[in-house]
Structure 1
Amino acid sequence: MHDIRAIRENPAAFDAALARRGITDASSRILSIDAERRAAIQTAETAQAEQKKAAREVGAAKAAGNEAEFERLRALVGEKKAEVAAMQDRAKALDTELADALMELPNLPLEDVPEGADEADNVELRRWGSPRALDFAPREHYDLPGVAAGMDFELAAKLSGSRFVVLSGAVARLHRALAQFMIDTHVEENGLVETWTPVLVREEMMYGTGQLPKFGEDSYRTTNGWWLVPTAEVTLTNIVNGLIVEEGYLPRRYVAHTQCFRSEAGSAGKDTAGMLRQHQFEKVEMVSVTHPEASLAEHDRMTRCAEGILEALELPYRTVVLCTGDMGFGARKTHDIEVWLPGQDTYREISSVSVCGDFQARRMNARYRPAGGGKPDFVHTLNGSGLAVGRALIAVLENGQQADGSVTLPAVLHPYLGGRTTLTAQGALA
């Protein structure tokens, strides 16, 4: 959410920043609501002062035996009381309208975020690794002989419908090994705090991280009002919801491995083959809560944490900075990491790492108290995939595929697989 005082002080700068995201003249509506709200508050305060003054004078008129003045003042007190109540109700309604209007506006992009309309305008920062030169036609993950027995889309469709999968046997174990490797690496090497959180959350938690109110159709809601998390960003970030922490508490760095649920609204016909885009999937999520002056450096650090997982898995990737038109609602700047998929002959996103500034903190009222004293200020929040487990499975299978249909598995996973190094063409670990 945005700081109304900053909008009042410099509406032109606010509009210019949002214009980069395709939103024009946003400040006029915001400031109109704000001006009416402030006027209602002022009117209520004036009427309240007049009510108190008249109330004091009522007793004097009664004591003086001036019945006409007594009745006039008593009526005035009643009028002012009603006026105060009406103006307070109006101010409260306008306060809600203002908060709702601010809630619907995306974050302001940082100045160094490239201009652009969509993913075609994203800017590549770097690449790591080189795709293997294959002397056979590469297959997509679901077409690999060793995968067929352990990746069942027909059974999942019978159980749940489209965009689900049932994993079994060696493929299921490989999927689990990837998640365990990611968590262990982030905890032991990157210093993140392993956390286990619910996947059902209250509605206000979804508001806190920005999934609501605009993107409710992208998530699932239960009949009693809980929401299924689209990512552990929701729970990890909301750990500081409503808190004032000491400055020395920062930074806080969390990691969680959870199930995630997305309706994939608006993605009809997109990535329907295989398990690239699912309604239910697993992700290892990183969240950092930092001092405002440290958030940009933390963004780079978190990006390296995600990149390091891919390097350990020996998977070629490229890192891009998203343009203004492709950036998520709550982000000020986002690095996407795209892994090479030989079956598609292209790079596909496997992690997004975003710095949100104080945008989420204002929605959550999450602040820190400066060590030297002074007024509490808002923390900064960041989030990033470290990584999407299903997409990592796809990448490991496709990049390790051999001409005979087997898959050579990354060395870092061998200890998690009982020393086995290969997924055979028959679907077993060997």
Structure 2
Amino acid sequence: MKVLVVGNGGREHALAWKLLQSNKIEQVVCVPGNGGTAIMERCQNLPLAVDDFAGISAYALANGISLVVVGPEVPLAQGITDYLQAQGLMVFGPSQAGAQIEASKAWAKALMEEAGVPTAKAGVFTDAVSAKSYLHSQGVPIVIKADGLAAGKGVTVAQTWEQAESAIDAIFQGQFGSAGSSVVIEECLLGQEVSVLALTDGLTIRPLLPAQDHKRVGEGDTGENTGGMGAYTPAPIATAELMARVQTEVLEKTIAALRNRGIDYRGILYAGLMITPDGDFRVLEFNCRFGDPETQVILPMLDTPLEDLILACIEQRLGDMPPIAWKQGAAATVVAASGGYPGNYDKGKVITGIDQATVAGATVFHAGTKLDAQQQILTDGGRVLNVTGLGENFQQAIAQAYKGLQHIQFDGIYYRRDIGHRVLK
């Protein structure tokens, strides 16, 4: 079977890597892929944009692609699943209607309220005057969110009313493009965030291992928000008791609410949760795809063949599958980023030591990399590599990741040295 993976990040490298562990998978084609997928055996890159639906469809139909797996949220929100399915292709990822759960925070809020899913109190506004009027009826800190997709950068946790007003102005003045047509103002919840990714065929929904990301760029969870500087799984704070509640109070209620709206949601439903100090939880947001970098720790722990789970979702027979099988122990990944990230950074720096990191026992997933004409791997993004370690416990997994990272070099390399600090305590 031939599979096409849409995307070019660490998540997509991890998806291709996991799929290729199966003897059922003949080849993976990544669109457009990165330096890691370019050199992986039985994998090739196809230099098309993720929103070139016609080009992707034409290639898939002409080259015997059996399955398309969509990584990023943007093509899902633009309707790639609907387009490719209309061409007779099998696609893993929700329809454009289902992808609204990530593409519009206001839409997702309304769905959660309709379904009775626990979430933060919020208001939605389409102009700055009404938004600021509501703002001053609330306390601070408070969270200001651009309604649409903003590449993870449209959220401000404002500590003062002045910061909140500036965030509102930035959104309505077009800083986030079309994502700024409306704003969501939300109460600020305290606690620890946990990512719960779940597979669903629209009827049955099964969670994967809970993971915990490190969003801040600086050690001690300081500095600017990023796409994620590292992650580990299974997150101990997501106890079996809490996960049982998430299943009934969040996942099952949300899928039922989607069905009630006539949406047949098949793919990944990713709930970003805030675990409050008293052990309760609220849903911060939903995503319609695999998380990044959570995927880079979840998939190495997965024992059930990934393609079996994906096909069960597409063919609506997830309920007939045996329980998902997992490796024992833990996994951790550390992001090696370009100097200056998440602000301005240089590209084109030569990366060395990846092979040595692999020999040392780590798994290296490429994110912002490319292969040049001289067969060198160069930096090509803010988050460059994900260095993942496995172990019998968190200490071993984290140590394995950092052991691998010691071998990797490029000009300006930056990484946090405290990934997993909560579990190490």
Into which bin does the TM-score normalised by the smaller protein fall?
under 0.3
Higher RCO (Cα < 8 Å, 6 or more apart): 1
Structure that is richer in strand per residue: 2
TM-score, scaled relative to structure 1: 0.25
TM-score, scaled relative to structure 2: 0.25
